[in-house]
Structure 1
Amino acid sequence: MRIRFDGRSALFALLWFAVLITLATAGANLGWLRGFGGDVLAVIWLYCLLRAAIDAPAHWLAAAALGCGLIIEFGQYLAAIFHWQIGNRALRIVLGATPDWLDVLAYGIGFALILAARLALRARLHARELEP
């Protein structure tokens, strides 16, 4: 594992970040897409961000992105149990305020989509190598 800069992954991270910001600010009337879809995309965004900066196997980076989501969700759970409040509104939007098992499911779906996309890309590249 090495530190590096991958411009393509950084561009994808920037694009996904723009989508996440749009969902968080203008997506109030989108219902489940804003919350659940945003959590799926958050894992994908974090994966792209990690991939832009760290040279490591895709499944490790995907697992790290999933782990970050799970840690945040666990923090929300602890905050609910101990009645802790996040004072900063922007931080409360980014980290969330209420633990929910559907968030964990969304993170898992984001993780699975990353792995599926990587497998599809690998299969496509392998098929190209086999072409005459």
Structure 2
Amino acid sequence: MPALPAPPTRTRRWRLDRRSLLLALLLFGLLVALATLGRHWGWVRGFGGDLLAVAWLYYLLNGALRAPAGRLATAAFAVGALLELGQYLAMQLHWQFSSPVLRIVFGSTADWLDILAYALGALLVWWLERRR
């Protein structure tokens, strides 16, 4: 009887990358500071916050998942774009969050510049990780 072929070796997808998780924690602190202290900073808070939110999500994902930087950056961008789509649909259907915290986290108005900020954030972390 012929021998059965060996099962393909699978690489672990889960991991713990302390560097990425530390960066995610630092970015989270910066996002909280922007949301609370920077409420009068206009576009810096909005555009910069959206850019940093995608970077935060990238490093959070990278801290737990073993995947190419491009895939993780794309996933972080996709989450931002889906949130923006949700904001657009909520405006069309006249839905509102009653919680001020949820309004800050998820946003309340859809804006195409937010998509640009998400894209720039994803490109920035992808570029930084490629240089490493």
TM-score, normalized by the shorter chain, greater than 0.5:
yes
Instruction: Work out the CA distance in 2 between the residues paired with 1:53 and 1:92.
Output: 27
1:33 corresponds, among 19, 38, 44, to 44
1:29 Cα deviation (Å)? Answer: 2.4
1:3 Cα deviation (Å)? Answer: 1.5
* Paired position in structure 1 for 2:98: 87
1:119 Cα deviation (Å)? Answer: 2.5
Count of residues in Structure 1 that have an aligned counterpart in Structure 2: 121
Q: Deviations over 1:33-84 (max 9, x none)?
A: 1000000000000000000111111111111100000000000000000001
Instruction: Work out the CA distance in 2 between the residues paired with 1:80 and 1:120.
Output: 40
* Paired position in structure 2 for 1:124: none
1:49 corresponds, among 32, 47, 60, to 60
* Paired position in structure 2 for 1:126: none
Q: Tell me the TM-score normalised to structure 2 length.
A: 0.88
* Paired position in structure 2 for 1:108: 119
Work out whether 1:97 is the aligned partner of 2:111: no
Work out whether 1:7 is the aligned partner of 2:18: yes
* Paired position in structure 1 for 2:81: 70
Give me the CA root mean square deviation.
1.0
Larger C-alpha radius of gyration, 1 or 2? 2
| Contact kept? 2:47, 2:113, Cα under 8 Å | yes
* Paired position in structure 2 for 1:16: 27
One-letter code of the match for 1:48?
Y
Instruction: Work out the CA distance in 1 between the residues paired with 2:83 and 2:40.
Output: 25
Instruction: Work out the CA distance in 1 between the residues paired with 2:86 and 2:96.
Output: 11
| Contact kept? 2:69, 2:130, Cα under 8 Å | no
* Paired position in structure 1 for 2:129: 118
More helix by share: 1
SS at the partner of 2:109?
A: coil
Instruction: Work out the CA distance in 1 between the residues paired with 2:78 and 2:39.
Output: 27
Percent identical among aligned pairs is 53
Q: Tell me the TM-score normalised to structure 1 length.
A: 0.88
